[in-house]
Amino acid sequence: MIEILAVAFMLVGVIFLFATMFGLLRFADPLQRIHATTKSGTVGAGLILVGVMIEMGDAQATFIGTATVIFLMLTIPIAGHLLGRAAYVSGARLDGLHGDDALDGVLERSPLTLDEYLAQTEKSPPQRNPEPGREDLRTNVDEPRSPVDNPGSAK
């Protein structure tokens, strides 16, 4: 009976992971994809781990599985939030945004999409500026340096 319960948990977990895959393939915009992967991916992986804990049945497997489920529940939503925020700020195309933009005026959003930004940077490559106060890095490499310029060398 325990084996049937364990397999049922693992099977439901696999179904949730397949839903994650379909959500990732079906949705067009990054925020919808992140939503699909974080919600169902967390539940699916958690259910698979619960099924493994039930199947193994010993204290060590239960402890490790519980710690892993707690870790997943704490970290995956945070990672999804940070990825969603980065996608929004970077100017990613948001097809699922209908109505008012609740983050307008709260977060600064790039006016260019990634493709537009890359096309713009290809036309004018960025100028490399030395770090402020470190202009001496542009010295000629072929010129010998005196021991005064290099305090770490032997005198």
Angle of helix 30-56 relative to helix 2-26, nearest 10 degrees? 170
Identify the CA nearest to 75 among candidates 102, 41, 107.
41
Separation of alpha carbons 38 and 35, rounded Å: 5
Separation of alpha carbons 48 and 55, rounded Å: 11
pLDDT of residue 154: 55
pLDDT of residue 46: 95
Per the confidence metrics, is the pTM higher than 0.95? no
Q: What is the largest CA-CA distance in the chain?
A: 82
By the 10 Å C-beta count (0-12 exposed, 13-18 middle, 19+ buried), 34 is classed as buried
Tell me the pLDDT tens digit for each residue of 126-142: 566 656 655 555 555 55
